[in-house]
A and B are shown apart, each in its own frame.
Chain A
Amino acid sequence: MAAPLAIPLPTHTFLQPQKLINNNEDLPHFLKSKAHHLIVTYIQHFSDALTPTGPDTRSTESRYADSPAIVVSQSVSQIVDLLAAIEAIVDEVPPVEGPRRFGNVAFRTWFSTVEQRSPELLRKYLPESIVNTQAKDDGISALEELKVYLLGGFGSAQRLDYGTGHELSFFAFLCGIWVLGGFETGRDELALIFKAFNAYLGIIRKLVLTYNLEPAGSHGVWGLDDHSFLPYIFGSAQLAATPEGMGPPAPGSIVEANTVERERNRNMYFGAIGFIRDVKKGPFWEHSPYLYDISGAIGGWKKINLGMMKMYAAEVLGKFPVVQHFPFGSIFSWDLVEGARLPPGFPSTIASTATTSSTMPPPSVLPGGGNEAGTKAPWSTIPSDPSKTLSAISPTTRMRAATPISQSNIANRVPVSALRGPPTGMPPPSRPNTITPPQNITLNPETTTTVPVPGGFAPAIGGVAVTTAPWAKPPTGPSGFGKGSGGGEAASMDPTAPESGAGDTPVRRVRSGSVTVGETGSLAGGKVVEYTNSHNQHKDEEK
Chain B
Amino acid sequence: MSDLDRAIEQLRQCRPIPELQVREICFKAREILIEEANVQIVDAPVTICGDIHGQFHDLMELFRVGGDCPDTNYLFMGDFVDRGFYSLESFLLLLCLKVRYPDRITLIRGNHESRQITTVYGFYDECIRKYGSANVWRYCCDVFDYLALGALVIGAGSSVQPTRLADGEDAETKVREAEDEVEIEVIGLGGVVTRQMSRRDAGMINSTNLTPSALPHLSSSGPAGALLTGVPGTGASGNSRGVANSNTPTNTGGAVLCVHGGLSPLIDSVDKIRLLDRKQEVPHDGAMCDLLWSDPEEIDGWGLSPRGAGFLFGADIVKQFNHLNNLTLIARAHQLVMEGFKEMFDSSIVTVWSAPNYCYRCGNVAAILELGEDNSNAVLRSGGEEVLFNRENTRRLASTYMGGSMKRGGPGRRYRVFEAAAQDSRGMPSKKPMPYYFL
Other-chain residue from A354, A474, A506, A521 in contact with B279 (beta carbon distance below 8 A): A521
Q: Which of B124, B279, B312, B434 makes the CB contact (< 8 A) with A515?
A: B279
Within 8 A of A (CB), among B306-332: 306-309, 311-312, 314
Which partner residue on chain A sits nearest B121 by CB separation? A219
The residues of A that contact B314 with a CB separation of less than 8 Å are 444
Q: Count how many pairs of residues, one from A and one from B, have CB atoms less than 8 Å apart in the complex.
A: 331
Judging by beta carbons under 8 Å apart, are B277 and A412 in contact?
Answer: yes
- Which of A367, A431, A448 sits near B308, CB closer than 8 Å? A431
Inter-subunit contact A510/B359 (CB<8 Å): no
Most buried by A among B54, B85, B285: B285
CB distance from A437 to the nearest CB of B (A): 7
Given contacts A220-B82, A431-B285, A435-B304, contact A354 B266 (CB under 8 A): no
Known: A465-B362, A515-B280. A535 touches B431 (CB 8 A): no
In chain B, what residue has the closest Cβ to A415?
B266
User: In this assembly, does A282 line the interface, its C-beta being within 8 Å of a C-beta of chain B?
Assistant: yes
A452 in contact with B304 given A310-B437, A377-B138, A416-B283 (CB within 8 Å) = no
Decide yes or no: A221 and B302 within 8 Å by CB, A438-B265, A538-B268 being known contacts: no
B359 touching A220, Cβ below 8 Å: yes
Give the distance to chain A from B292, nearest Cβ to Cβ, in Å.
10
Q: Across the interface, which residues of A come within 8 angstroms of B232, CB to CB?
A: 99
Chain B nearest CB: distance from A286 CB in Å? 5
A403 to B279, CA, bound (A): 14
Q: Contact between A510 and B116 (Cβ–Cβ < 8 Å)?
A: yes
Interface check B225, CB cutoff 8 A:
no
Total interface residues in chain A, CB < 8 Å: 125
Q: Verify B83–A221 contact, CB threshold 8 A.
A: yes
With contact pairs A219-B122, A221-B85 given, residues A471 and B437 touching in the complex (Cβ less than 8 Å): no
Nearest residue in A to B298 (C-beta to C-beta)? A457
Q: Are B306 and A452 in contact (CB under 8 A)?
A: yes
A83 at the interface (CB under 8 A from B): no
Across the interface, which residues of B come within 8 angstroms of A417, CB to CB?
A: 286
Question: In terms of DSSP, what is the predominant structure of the interface of chain B?
Answer: loop
The secondary-structure label for the interface of chain A is: loop
In the bound complex, CA of A326 to CA of B360 (Å): 30
Taking CB atoms, residues of chain B closer than 8 Å to A506 are: 116, 119-120
Contact partner of B266 (CB less than 8 A), chosen from A406, A438, A471, is A438
Q: Which of B88-96, B126-134, B207-215, B401-409 contacts A (4 or more CB under 8 A)?
A: B126-134
Cross-chain contact A441 with B302 (CB below 8 angstroms): yes
Q: Does B335 contact A (CB under 8 A)?
A: yes
Task: Check B275 against A523 for contact (C-beta < 8 Å).
Answer: yes
Tell whether A147 is near chain B: CB-to-CB under 8 Å.
Answer: no
Give the residue name and chain of the A residue nearest to B129 (CB).
A361
Q: Are B438 and A304 in contact (CB under 8 A)?
A: yes
In the bound complex, what is the Cα–Cα distance between A415 and B272 (angstroms)?
11
B288 CB to nearest A CB, Å: 6
Give min CB distance, A525 to chain B, whole Å. 10
CB distance from B270 to the nearest CB of A (A): 13
Q: Within the complex, which residue of A159, A360, A527 is in contact with B433, where a contact is CB–CB below 8 Å?
A: A360
Q: Of all chain A residues, which has the CB nearest B290? A: A416
* B175-212 interface bits toward A, Cβ cutoff 8 Å, 1 = contact, 0 = none: 00000000000000000000000000000000000000
B286 touches A221 (CB 8 A): no
5 cross-chain pairs, A with B, having the tightest CB-CB distances, nearest first: A472-B308, A220-B83, A447-B303, A416-B286, A222-B122
Q: Which A residues are within 8 Å of any B CB, using their own CB?
A: 98-102, 159, 218-222, 226, 255, 279-283, 285-287, 289-290, 292-298, 303-304, 307-308, 310-311, 314, 350, 353-354, 358-365, 367-368, 371-372, 375-379, 403, 406, 408-409, 411-413, 415-417, 419-420, 427-428, 430-431, 435, 437-438, 441-444, 446-448, 451-453, 457, 459, 461, 464-475, 491-493, 506-507, 509-512, 514-515, 517-523, 527-528, 531, 535, 538-539
